[in-house]
């Protein structure tokens, strides 16, 4: 099994775990549906340049960002249960989205162009 297959399986595992936790969390599936594709707005940076597009896309498609988001809420001691629940829901949706993308073989972008990823070239030889 090659490393790209392992990374895709890892993404699938992350997606399934995030969905499992989300289902136990009791959060709205409407919220999930409404926010699931939101990280793809990071592609808008490509309207300016491939370099900026890669940076904005990668900023919202790495696990560091949603985990920092959740950690920040914890660090500032979000005391309101509804606020903490919303942060948790958003974090799980975000992580599920990243896992979904990785399972599909969509990787972090390179500055050379949208189709060039850390998993290889999209639509071409990997």
pLDDT tens digits, one per residue of 75-95 = 776 666 666 788 889 999 999
Q: Stretch 107-113: mean pLDDT, rounded?
A: 87
Q: How far apart are CA 15 and CA 73, in angstroms?
A: 22
Share of the chain above pLDDT 90, in %: 60
Residue 1: pLDDT band (50, 70, 90) is confident
pLDDT score of 78: 60
Of 28, 29, 9, 21, give the one whose Cα is nearest residue 66. 21
55 or 72, greater pLDDT: 55
> pTM of the full predicted structure?
0.89
pLDDT score of 126: 44
Mean pLDDT value across the chain: 88
Q: Stretch 45-58: mean pLDDT, rounded?
A: 94
Q: How far apart are CA 77 and CA 56, in angstroms?
A: 28
């Amino acid at each position: 099994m090659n490393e790209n297959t392992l990374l895709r399986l890892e993404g699938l595992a992350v997606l399934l775990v995030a969905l499992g936790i989300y289902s136990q969390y009791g959060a709205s599936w409407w919220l999930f549906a409404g926010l699931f594709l939101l990280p793809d707005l990071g592609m808008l940076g490509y309207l300016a340049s491939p370099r900026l597009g890669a940076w904005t896309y990668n900023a919202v498609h790495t696990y560091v960002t949603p985990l920092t988001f959740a950690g920040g809420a914890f660090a500032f001691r979000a005391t309101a249960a509804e606020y903490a629940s919303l942060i948790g829901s958003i974090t799980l949706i975000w992580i599920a989205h990243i896992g979904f993308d990785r399972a599909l073989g969509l990787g972090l972008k390179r500055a050379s162009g949208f189709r060039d990823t850390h998993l290889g070239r999209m639509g071409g030889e990997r």
